[in-house]
Structure formats: C-alpha cells, structure tokens
Structure 1
Amino acid sequence: MGVIRVHEFTTVDGVVDAPMWTMDYGFPDDLAAAIGALTAPAQGILLGRTTFEMFAPAWSTRTVEDDPGAPFFNDTTKYVVSSTLTDAESVWRNSTAVGGYDADRVRELKAQGDLYVSGSATLVRALLADGLVDELHLYVYPVAVGTGIRLFPDGAPRTPLSLLGAESLSNGVVHLTYGPAAA
C-alpha cells in the first residue's frame, strides 16, 4: 500500500488559497530539499481540478534548467479528481482525469504506490475525512492575510491529528508534519 503525502503552503491564519504571499519569502535550498523529500518517493500526483488547471500552464513548459522540480511535475503521472474535466491529457501530458471524488478509487491509486498532493484544498478535505492522508505537510508562512480559502474552514468537522515533525526553515517558514491521530 502506498502513502499519500499532502503539501500545503499556508499562512499563520490558515489560508491555503493561491499562495502569492510565498514570493516575499523566496525559495531557499532547505525549502526545496524539504519539498523534494516529499516528491521523491511519489509514483503519482493527485490533484483537484482547480489546482491542476493552475499548475498545468505554470509547469508544463518548464524545464530542469528553469526549475529542478520540473521533471517531477511533467514526467510523473497526474491523476485529476474532477466531475467536469474529461480530457486532462490534452491540457498537460501524463495526466488522467479519474472522475469525481471517490474514496475507493483513491484507495486503488494508493495501492499502486505513493501519491503526492499539492494544494487541492477541497480534495484534501475529502481525503482527510476518509482517513486517506498519511502525512499532512504544512509549510506555515509568517504572515496573516485575513481572507481566502482555508484548509479547515469555519464549520468544518473536528479533525484530530498527530504531530510527526516540526522544522524551522531559513526563510522563517515552519514545516509541520502531521499524521492521523494516534488511537
């Protein structure tokens, strides 16, 4: 059985919306290494439609010379969870639309190997609710923005987690790793 590792850039007030605020903090080597450790074992990328549609134009034309992460994003199979997108391959190579969210379908994909998820807040909420997230990696930026999409919005169900690790990065970001709550 594979592992699902989720990566979210978030503010101290919990916003995970399009993270333009990350630009102020750069992308130092220790942040790149931390994210590289998440992507290295992944055999597939699982994305929601909105994140897929944001990533496709940003990553599909990048080369390793532009960004060392480009080969991972372009060459790895991407599974897009969407009830509306039917032809992901024409948008970004190595992409497959898997239909609307179905926990059993995600379990099938997970059985094939490790999966990496970035962004995709709606998808991540569903994965958490169904106990499918093995590692939730929150990169907490030292800024509050007040409004935006939150991973855990007001009214969301209680989601107990266990802290697996905490790391302070050189740009002031804290990398928190959570797993399912200990029984």
Structure 2
Amino acid sequence: MGVIRVHEFTTVDGVVDAPMWTMDYGFPEDLAASIGALTAPAGGILLGRTTFEMFAPAWSTRTADDDPGAPFFNDTTKYVVSSTLTDAESVWRNSTAVGGYDAGRIRELKADRDLYVSGSATLVRALVADGLVDELHLYVYPVAVGTGIHLFPEGTEQKLSLLGVEALSNGVAHLTYGPA
C-alpha cells in the first residue's frame, strides 16, 4: 500500500491559497531538502484542478537548469481530480484526469504507489476527512495575512497526530501530522 504525503505552505493564521507571501522568506537549502524528501518516494502527483491549472504553466516549461524540482513535476505522472477537466494531457504532459473526487478511486491509485499532493486545499480536505492522508506536511510561515482560503474552514473538526517538528533556517516551521 502506498502513502499519500501532502505538502502545504501556510501562514500562522492558516491561510493556504496562492502563497505569494513565501517569497519574502526565500527557498533555502534546508527547505529544498525537506520538500525533496517528500517528493523523492512519490510515484505520482495528485492534484485538484485549480492547483493543476496553476502549476501547469509554471512548471511545464521549466528545466532542471531553471529549478532542480522541474524534472519531478514534469516527468512524474500527474493525476488530476476534476469533474470538469477531461484532457489533462493536452494541458501538461504526463497528466491524466481521474474524474471527480472518489475516495475509492484514490485508494486504487494509492494501492501501488506513493502519491504527493501540493496545494489543492479542497482535495486535501476530502482526503483527510476520508482518512487517506498518511502525512500532512505543513510549512508554517511566520506571517499572518488575515484573509484567504484556509485548509480547514471554520466549523471543520479534525483530529490529527503530531509526527514531527522541524525548524528551518528561514524561520519556517515544518510540522508533520498523521491520522489521530
């Protein structure tokens, strides 16, 4: 059975949308190594449609010379959870649309490969609620932005178990959670 590892950049007040606020903190080697440890075992990338459509133009033209993460994002099969997108391959190579969210279908994908998820808050909420996330990696930036999409919206109840804590050189806290 594979593992689903989720990676989210978040503010201290829980905002996860379009993390432009990360730019002020750079991308030091220890952050790159931490994220690299999440992507290294992945046999697939699982994304929601919105994140897929944001990532495709950003990553599809990058090379390893531009960014060491480019080969992972471009060469690894991307599974896009969407009830509206039908031809993911025409948007970004090595991509396939798997239809709307279906926990059973995700379990099938997870059965024989580790999956990496980045962003995709709506998808992540469903995965966590269905007990499909094995590791939730929150990279908490020391900034509050006040408004935006929260990983867990008001009214959400979710118990998690702390698996690890790592302080990064740019002031970011890497918190790892698993199922309670």
Q: Which runs of 5+ in 2 are unaligned?
A: none
Q: Residue type matched to 1:102 in 2?
A: D
Residue by residue over 1:69-109, the C-alpha shift from the partner in whole angstroms, topping out at 9 and shown as x without a partner, is 00000000000000000000000000000000000000000
Residue by residue over 1:24-48, the C-alpha shift from the partner in whole angstroms, topping out at 9 and shown as x without a partner, is 0000000000000000000000000
TM-score after normalising by structure 1: 0.98
Q: Hey, what does 2:177 align to over in structure 1?
A: 178
User: What fraction of aligned residue pairs are identical, expressed as a percent?
Assistant: 89
Residue by residue over 1:152-172, the C-alpha shift from the partner in whole angstroms, topping out at 9 and shown as x without a partner, is 11122x110010000000000
Q: Which runs of 5+ in 1 are unaligned?
A: none
SS at match of 1:89: helix
Alpha-carbon deviation of 1:65? 0.2
Alpha-carbon deviation of 1:68? 0.2
Q: Residue type matched to 1:38 in 2?
A: L
Q: Distance in 2 between matches of 1:81 and 1:132?
A: 14
Residue by residue over 1:126-156, the C-alpha shift from the partner in whole angstroms, topping out at 9 and shown as x without a partner, is 0001000000000000000000000011122
Deviating beyond 3 angstroms after TM superposition, the runs of 4 or more aligned structure 1 residues are none
Q: Hey, what does 1:86 align to over in structure 2?
A: 86
Q: Hey, what does 2:160 align to over in structure 1?
A: 161
Q: Hey, what does 2:127 align to over in structure 1?
A: 127
Matches within 5 A, 1:71-110: 71-110=71-110
Residue by residue over 1:52-77, the C-alpha shift from the partner in whole angstroms, topping out at 9 and shown as x without a partner, is 00000000000000000000000000
Q: Distance in 2 between matches of 1:136 and 1:167?
A: 14
Q: Hey, what does 2:144 align to over in structure 1?
A: 144
Q: Residue type matched to 2:64 in 1?
A: V
Q: Residue type matched to 1:14 in 2?
A: G
Is residue 2:39 matched to residue 1:39?
A: yes
Q: Hey, what does 1:60 align to over in structure 2?
A: 60
TM-score after normalising by structure 2: 1.00
Q: Residue type matched to 2:173 in 1?
A: V
SS at match of 2:73: helix
Residue by residue over 1:4-24, the C-alpha shift from the partner in whole angstroms, topping out at 9 and shown as x without a partner, is 000000000000000000000
Q: Distance in 1 between matches of 2:69 and 2:177?
A: 24
Q: Aligned-pair RMSD on alpha carbons?
A: 0.3
